[in-house]
RNA sequence: GGUCUCAUCGUCUAAUGGUUAGGACAUUGCCCUUUCAAGGCGAAAAUACGGGUUCAAUUCCCGUUGGGACUACCA
């Protein structure tokens, strides 16, 4: 059975690139009827952020990417675990790494290293100065194993390194790039266990992926050059090597690796700005993948059905905000009024205008005009509070103030005589337009001042839609307010 | 510097030997129209360069150039 995993480090937030990696892993697993696992790689104590895990989980669940196994989130938001291969947080698996590292030591595939960071730095500086490839020189590999074991056990500060077999080359088949080969002589004797007793990524990832039964490793391209070390480890342990797929990176507009410096990279940022999860997921899925057809609106379910690693491209994709905006607009447009009010609840509440009943109609006025949910309260504000506006705004460019003075009182009178039941968009439009014809006015000379009087804005939805939302009393009231401004 | 890797409109991409090189976003023209949106119909816009292979190269091979990743007791 297919089993994939996403293994983030809790360094603060979920990066949009991470979201895409998680999404592809999730889609691939679901597509093949398999399982998607979430593991937390917190072996770097210096970069650890306290609520990092909760944060990542929150973003993932928001996007609809729910793990079948590993670290999960309960409905109350609490973090928990699911599955029999745990613990799924690396800092809780230290004894496991120790056990396996000792096995490597016994078989002579690893060795203790007592080199100081000063020596390592100097070594590297020398190599760089001589324009040589950098890497550990293997000094401690020459130590007598028994002696070195005693030294380590007596408490001398040490790390454990992989004794890399430098002969030949490592060849593997990447599901996205095809055959990739590395000369083993250039592969470093990677540190496996750090001096603080924690494993490095390279060691933990191999042990965990094997123990947790991962069949397909889908991860970012930045890992491709460390594959030889991992392959070596698999071979030393006699384990089966999982399939691997290295995804191209997400890029800034200037084509550099997507970074915080050039815009928002946290999923949380987009959440807060009022992007819908469906839009972000759809957008991010298409950054590097396409179905090979011209369909581009995809729900998560549809993605699962059509996703295919063979349609994942090899080139890095620029994170293009304009396209994301377009997707967001599409998804907002497709929401029902009730759904729109509900999904925009946090922003409406913050603006102090959350009231489902009153909002359902109002929200419909602006749905095609907003890009994000965060814009909604500001956009419909005029429905509740008529903004102040300059009297001149009431005059249409092809009309005159005299004409407004003539038209507006008659319009107020006309609307005063209508029934409340006439205040629907359709009826209002029909009746008003025939009234305009009857009176011999030009359409714009009536509708422009009407719209401005009702919205207080230069740009707004159409006058009939607004009037229908406002109702008879408020409509005639606002019309009268406008009239007073120009008398 | 070394290793790996990538290269189609501004951006995301389709086309895996034969197409007027297709679509989407963005840009832009027109229509609709009381404004802004939305919508409809158009336009402009790409195979990095140089060699091969082939009757035929976006497509296969080599080189050049350019980009990116990695090169930590970070992931």
Per DSSP, the residues of A96-157 read HHHHHHHHHHHTTSEEEE---HHHHHHHHHHHHHTTPPP----GGGGS-HHHHHHHHHTT--
Query: Looking at the predicted structure, is the pLDDT value of residue A261 above 80?
Result: no
Please give the Cα distance from A483 to A487 (Å, whole number).
Answer: 6
Q: Which of residues 207-246 of A touch strand B (CB under 7 A)?
A: 221-226
- pLDDT band per the 50, 70, 90 thresholds, residue A358: confident
* Mean pLDDT, range A288-315, rounded to an integer: 95
* Cβ pair A464, A429 in contact under 8 A: yes
- Please give the nucleotide, over all strands, whose C1' is closest to the CA of residue A44: B74
Residue A330 domain-assigned? no
Q: Which of residues 314-343 of A touch strand B (CB under 7 A)?
A: 314-318, 320, 322-323, 325-326, 329, 333
Residue A322 domain-assigned? no
Q: What CATH number does the domain containing A469 carry?
A: 1.10.10.350
Residue A457: the pLDDT is 96
A433 is in an annotated binding site: no
Residue of A86 and A158 predicted with greater confidence: A158
* Mean pLDDT, range A346-371, rounded to an integer: 94
- Any atom of strand B under 7 A from CB of A281? no
How many Å separate Cα A325 from the centre of its chain?
14
Together in a domain, A351 and A229: no
- pLDDT band per the 50, 70, 90 thresholds, residue A25: very high
Phi/psi of residue A46, each to 5°? -75, -30
How many Å separate Cα A293 from the centre of its chain?
24
Query: Looking at the predicted structure, is the pLDDT value of residue A60 above 80?
Result: yes
- State chain A's mean pLDDT as an integer: 95
Together in a domain, A109 and A216: yes
Residue A66 domain-assigned? yes
Residue of A99 and A316 predicted with greater confidence: A99
- pLDDT band per the 50, 70, 90 thresholds, residue A254: confident
Residue with tokens 């745990």: A86
- Please give the nucleotide, over all strands, whose C1' is closest to the CA of residue A310: B16
Query: Looking at the predicted structure, is the pLDDT value of residue A339 above 90?
Result: yes
Residue A130: the pLDDT is 87
Q: What CATH number does the domain containing A189 carry?
A: 3.40.50.620
* Cβ pair A283, A16 in contact under 8 A: no
Together in a domain, A256 and A236: no
- Any atom of strand B under 7 A from CB of A78? no
Query: Looking at the predicted structure, is the pLDDT value of residue A215 above 80?
Result: yes
Our count of domains for chain A comes to 4
Please give the Cα distance from A67 to A60 (Å, whole number).
Answer: 9
Residue A326 domain-assigned? no
* Mean pLDDT, range A249-270, rounded to an integer: 87
Domain boundary among A230, A247, A264: A247
- Any atom of strand B under 7 A from CB of A130? no
Residue percentage of chain A with pLDDT more than 90:
90
* Close Cβ partners of A390 (under 8 Å, ≥ 6 residues apart): none
| pLDDT tens per residue across span A380-389 | 999 999 999 9
- pLDDT band per the 50, 70, 90 thresholds, residue A327: very high
Residue A184: the pLDDT is 95
- pLDDT band per the 50, 70, 90 thresholds, residue A277: very high
- Give me the helix-helix angle, A94-106 and A227-237, nearest 10°: 70
Together in a domain, A97 and A85: no
Together in a domain, A83 and A113: no
- Any atom of strand B under 7 A from CB of A260? no
Residue A452: the pLDDT is 97
Residue A325 domain-assigned? no
Nearest protein residue to nucleotide B68 (CA to C1' distance) is: A256
Domain boundary among A349, A380, A411: A380
Together in a domain, A233 and A98: yes
Please give the Cα distance from A177 to A174 (Å, whole number).
Answer: 5
Establish whether A260 is a catalytic residue.
yes
Please give the Cα distance from A249 to A266 (Å, whole number).
Answer: 15
* Mean pLDDT, range A287-298, rounded to an integer: 94
Q: What is the value of pTM for the model shown?
A: 0.94
* Cβ pair A4, A34 in contact under 8 A: yes
- Please give the nucleotide, over all strands, whose C1' is closest to the CA of residue A369: B37
Together in a domain, A159 and A288: no
Residue A385 domain-assigned? no
Together in a domain, A221 and A233: yes
Residue A263: the pLDDT is 82
Q: What CATH number does the domain containing A351 carry?
A: 1.10.8.70
Alpha helices in A215-352 (DSSP H): 227-237, 267-272, 277-285, 300-306, 321-333, 337-343, 345-350
Please give the Cα distance from A69 to A278 (Å, whole number).
Answer: 23
- pLDDT band per the 50, 70, 90 thresholds, residue A62: very high
Together in a domain, A413 and A370: no
Together in a domain, A86 and A98: no
Domain boundary among A351, A380, A409: A380
- pLDDT band per the 50, 70, 90 thresholds, residue A259: confident
Residue A328 domain-assigned? no
Nearest protein residue to nucleotide B67 (CA to C1' distance) is: A255
**Cβ burial, residue A106 (10 Å; 0-12/13-18/19+):** exposed
Q: Which nucleotides of B are covered by protein (CB under 7 A)?
A: 1-8, 10-16, 22-26, 33-38, 67-75
Together in a domain, A227 and A269: no
Residue A386 domain-assigned? no
Residue with tokens 């913050």: A350
- Any atom of strand B under 7 A from CB of A433? no
Question: Which residues pair with residue A73 across a beta bridge?
Answer: A79
Q: What is the largest CA-CA distance in chain A?
A: 107
Residue of A297 and A131 predicted with greater confidence: A297
Together in a domain, A147 and A169: yes
Of these residues, A78, A103, A257, A260, which one is catalytic?
Answer: A260
Residue A470's domain spans which residues? 391-486
A212 CA from B17 C1′ (Å): 45
Residue with tokens 């039941």: A421
- Any atom of strand B under 7 A from CB of A389? no
* Mean pLDDT, range A17-32, rounded to an integer: 97
- pLDDT band per the 50, 70, 90 thresholds, residue A253: confident
């Amino acid at each position: 059975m297919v089993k994939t995993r996403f293994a983030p480090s809790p360094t603060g937030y979920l990066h949009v690139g991470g979201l895409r990696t998680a999404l592809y892993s999730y889609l691939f697993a679901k597509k093949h009827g398999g399982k998607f696992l979430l593991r937390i790689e917190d072996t770097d104590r210096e970069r650890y952020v306290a609520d990092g895990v909760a944060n990542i989980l929150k973003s993932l669940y928001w996007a609809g990417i729910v793990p079948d196994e590993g670290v999960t989130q309960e409905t109350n938001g609490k973090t928990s675990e699911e599955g029999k291969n745990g613990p799924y947080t690396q800092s809780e698996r230290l004894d496991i790494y120790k056990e396996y590292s000792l096995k490597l030591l016994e078989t002579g595939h690893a060795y203790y290293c007592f080199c100081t960071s000063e020596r390592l730095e100097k070594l590297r500086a020398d190599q760089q100065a001589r324009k040589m490839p950098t890497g550990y020189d293997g000094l401690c590999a020459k130590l007598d194993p028994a002696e070195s074991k005693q030294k380590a056990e007596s408490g001398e500060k040490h790390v454990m390194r992989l004794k890399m077999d430098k002969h030949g080359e490592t060849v593997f088949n990447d599901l996205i790039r095809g055959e990739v080969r590395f000369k083993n002589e250039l592969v470093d004797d990677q540190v496996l266990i750090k001096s603080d007793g924690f494993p490095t990524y390279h060691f933990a990832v191999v042990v965990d992926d094997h123990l947790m039964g991962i069949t397909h490793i889908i991860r970012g391209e930045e890992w491709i050059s460390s594959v030889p070390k991992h392959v070596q480890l698999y071979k030393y342990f006699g384990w089966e090597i999982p399939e691997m797929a290295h995804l191209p990176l997400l890029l800034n507009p200037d084509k550099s690796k997507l970074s915080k410096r050039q815009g928002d990279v946290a999923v949380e940022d987009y959440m807060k700005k009022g992007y819908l999860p469906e839009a972000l997921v759809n957008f991010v899925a298409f950054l590097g993948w396409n179905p090979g057809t011209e369909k581009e609106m995809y729900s998560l379910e549809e993605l699962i059905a059509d996703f295919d690693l063979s349609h994942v491209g090899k080139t890095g994709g620029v994170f293009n905000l304009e396209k994301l905006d377009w997707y967001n607009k599409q998804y907002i447009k497709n929401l029902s009024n009730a759904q729109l009010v509900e999904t925009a609840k946090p922003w409406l509440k913050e603006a102090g205008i959350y009231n489902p009943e009153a909002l359902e109609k109002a929200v419909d006025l602006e749905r095609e005009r907003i890009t994000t949910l965060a814009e909604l309260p500001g956009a419909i504000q005029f429905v509740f509070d008529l903004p102040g506006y300059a009297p001149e705004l009431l005059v249409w460019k092809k009309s005159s103030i005299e004409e407004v003075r003539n038209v507006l009182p008659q319009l107020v009178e006309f609307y005063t005589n209508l029934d409340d039941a006439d205040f629907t968009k359709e009826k209002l439009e029909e009746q008003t337009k025939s009234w305009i014809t009857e009176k011999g006015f030009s359409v714009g000379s009536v509708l422009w001042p009407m719209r401005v009087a009702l919205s207080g804005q230069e740009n707004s939805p159409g006058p009939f839609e607004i009037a229908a939302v406002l109702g008879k009393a408020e409509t005639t009231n606002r019309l009268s307010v406008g009239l007073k401004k120009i008398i």
